[in-house]
Amino acid sequence: MSDGKTEHLDLNQWVLEDPVRMDDFNEDNLKIDAGISAVQIAAANAQIAANAAQTAANAAHGAAQNAHAAANTAQATANNATLPIVTQAEAEAGTGNVMRAWTPQRVRQAVAAAPGSWEKLIDTVINTAAANVELNLSSINLNNYMMLRVYYSAAGTTDDTNADRLYFRLNKIAEGYVWRNITNTQAFNSASSAENRMYFMGGFADITLFSRVVYVRGIMHAYHAPLTLRPNEIQTLDLMGNTSASANFPVGSRFIVMGVRK
């Protein structure tokens, strides 16, 4: 047994004169084992405590986020309760700077009224076969549009030659359409100024509304409408089938007019 001991675990510290016994080593090993075990237990307990603290912190953070979201919702509800809903005129003008509440309908109206945006003006399907179809534009302020596009889709026809051919007049005017063939860069044919209707293929035609002239273009043909007709005076698009009965508009034929906002 040694007279010297270590400071912390009281382990044996021998000198040359001290007798050495097996019990001394066994006692030292037990002390070392107990010390290491205590350290491990303390470390495990500390990790458990740290995990619990982190869980509590996460819960507190989640509660704070939920409270913030609830506050935002309450604020939005309060705002909507106190703010007047934007009017259609305000939505379409897009110039107001006063806080307003918006509905999905008003957002759509604002987008549709934006310059350069496409707006569907007419979408109709006929339920009886017809040789002529009138699309009424009289309720539309054409001063708000720079161009119209007319689409025609013949339902259930097997006549490939005439299925996408479109003939029409403006305001039922039956003369004065000056035309040219686009594919060969032909100039407008003044000799054809007595054309009594406009002819297009490809299922569509673009009507450009210049300040004083109406210009109509398709895939192969382009027309000047009668020069006496001003863009804002257009009341009807008068669509006609070909001269053959097979080209009349069958049941289910669809006509769409889209407008591009100024």
pLDDT for position 232:
85
* pLDDT of 160 strictly over 70: no
Q: Are 117 and 109 in contact (CB under 8 A)?
A: no
Spatial CB neighbours of 34, under 8 Å, sequence gap ≥ 6: none
* pLDDT of 126 strictly over 80: yes
Cα dihedral: 44, 45, 50, 55 (round 10) = 100
Question: HSE (CB half, 13 Å, CA atoms) of 65?
Answer: 6
pLDDT for position 155:
66
Considering the four listed CATH numbers 2.40.320, 1.10.10, 2.60.120, 2.40.50, the one that applies to the domain covering 117-261 is 2.60.120
| Residue 241, token pair as written in the block | 């089938």
Span 21-41, average pLDDT:
82
Q: Are 142 and 257 in contact (CB under 8 A)?
A: no
* pLDDT of 157 strictly over 60: no
Residue ranges in 20-119 assigned as alpha helix (H): 22-82, 88-93, 104-113
Q: Are 205 and 223 in contact (CB under 8 A)?
A: no
Q: What is the pLDDT of residues 161-179, one digit of tens each?
A: 555 677 888 998 888 788 7
Percent of the chain whose predicted confidence (pLDDT) is above 70 = 85
- What is the Cα 194 distance to its own chain's centre? 46
Q: Which amino acid makes up residue 46?
A: A
Which tops the pLDDT comparison, 95 or 187? 95
pLDDT for position 191:
45
Q: Which amino acid makes up residue 15?
A: V
Q: What is the pLDDT of residues 203-255, one digit of tens each?
A: 788 888 887 778 888 777 777 777 778 888 899 999 886 655 445 788 888 89
Biggest alpha carbon–alpha carbon distance for the chain? 138
Tell me the pTM.
0.58
Give the number of other CB atoms < 10 A from CB of residue 214: 22
Which tops the pLDDT comparison, 162 or 80? 80
Domain extents in the chain: 4-79, 84-114, 117-261
* pLDDT of 122 strictly over 60: yes
Which tops the pLDDT comparison, 65 or 110? 65
